[in-house]
Amino acid sequence: MSEPHREHDTLKAIQNLQNEYPFATGLLIYCLIERMLKYFIRDEIKKAPSRLEENFCEKNKHKKDRALRKRLIRLTLESIVYKFKYKNDKEILKEIAERRNNYMHSNDLLEPVVEKNPKKRGEYHKKDLQQAIKDLKSIFDLLKEDYEIVIDHNGNLGDFRSRQYTHTNS
């Protein structure tokens, strides 16, 4: 049996909260995405070849843990996009960063966009949460995590499991 994912407890919280608190769960997902990317960068900086820009790696790979942590803390999701080397990675991350910024800054909750009817507003939140879950799945896939996100037929986070059980050579 494999080790639980480092974010096991956060993923469980997402599963438990998603139906009752869709907006708050979306916020949690975007925080998780940013944290996962920072962990990835921390580990990827020291690899050769790296999926990150060479200049960025060179400037940071010899930093002590505390200095690197300070550097990572200052990165926003939007700035992380430009640390990646490959165009496809940048495009995926840029789209996620734009959605994250709209969500985190409540851009769709300001009048006149905000729906005054609580039931209708809840439907918007659920739709936004489903997109956040898709973004989380994209991050797991992009970072080639050992675990995968499984989205159920309702668009919810249905499961997260080790890829070894479902991995195919496609």
Render pLDDT for 70-108 as a digit per residue (tens, 0 to 9): 999 999 999 999 999 999 999 999 999 999 998 888 766
Domain count, the chain: 1
How far from the centroid of its chain's Cα atoms is residue 127's Cα?
17
Domain that holds residue 65: 8-163
Q: What is the tens place of the pLDDT at every residue in 100-118?
A: 998 888 766 666 666 667 7
More confident residue, 2 or 125: 125
Q: Is residue 135 pLDDT above 80, yes or no?
A: yes
Q: pLDDT tens for residues 155-170?
A: 999 988 888 754 443 3
Q: What pTM, to 2 d.p., does this model score?
A: 0.88
Cite the DSSP H helix spans in 18-108: 22-44, 54-60, 65-74, 77-81, 87-104
Residue pair 77/96 in contact by the 8 Å Cβ criterion? yes
**Contact indicator for 130, 23 with CB cutoff of 8 Å:** no
Alpha carbon 154 to its chain centroid, in Å, reads 20
Domain annotation covers residue 49: yes
HSE, CB side, 13 Å, CA atoms: give it for residue 44. 20
Kindly state whether residue 169 falls inside one of the protein's structural domains: no
